[in-house]
C-alpha cells in the first residue's frame, strides 16, 4: 500500500539516438599545462600630508565620541528602566499588603 509505483514506459517517445562507443584511436593523451605562477601586485604606499593626518585624527575622535554617547545613553536607559521596575514592585507590594489587611 505504501510502496511507490513507478510507471514503466514500454516504448520510448521522441527520437532515439544510438549510443556511440568510443574507439581506442579517438582518445588522445593530454599533458596538463603547468600552473601559472601568481604575480604579487605592486603595493602603493599611502602618503599622509599634515592636513590629511589632522582630518583623520579629527574623524577618529568624532567616531569615538559618537560611539561613547550611544553606549552611555543605552546604559542610562537600562538604569532608568531598572529603577522604574523597582519602584513599581514596591508600590504593588504596598497595595497588596493594604488589600490583605482590609483597609
Provide the pLDDT confidence category of residue 26 given band limits of 50, 70 and 90: low
What was the pLDDT predicted at 28? 65
Higher-pLDDT residue of 49 and 68 is 68
More confident residue, 26 or 87: 87
Q: How far apart are CA 96 and CA 37, in angstroms?
A: 81
How many Å apart are CA 57 and CA 64, to the nearest integer?
11
Which pLDDT band, with edges at 50, 70 and 90, does 43 fall under? confident
Note the pLDDT of residue 84: 97
- Consecutive H or E run containing 52: helix 50-101
Amino acid at each position: 500500500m505504501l510502496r511507490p509505483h513507478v510507471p514503466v514506459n514500454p516504448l520510448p517517445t521522441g527520437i532515439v539516438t544510438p549510443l556511440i562507443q568510443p574507439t581506442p584511436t579517438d582518445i588522445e593523451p593530454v599533458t596538463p599545462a603547468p600552473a601559472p605562477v601568481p604575480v604579487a601586485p605592486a603595493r602603493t604606499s599611502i602618503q599622509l600630508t599634515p592636513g590629511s593626518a589632522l582630518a583623520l585624527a579629527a574623524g577618529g575622535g568624532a567616531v569615538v565620541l559618537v560611539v561613547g554617547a550611544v553606549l552611555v545613553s543605552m546604559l542610562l536607559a537600562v538604569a532608568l528602566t531598572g529603577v522604574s521596575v523597582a519602584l513599581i514592585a514596591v508600590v504593588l507590594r504596598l497595595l497588596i499588603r493594604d488589600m490583605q489587611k482590609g483597609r
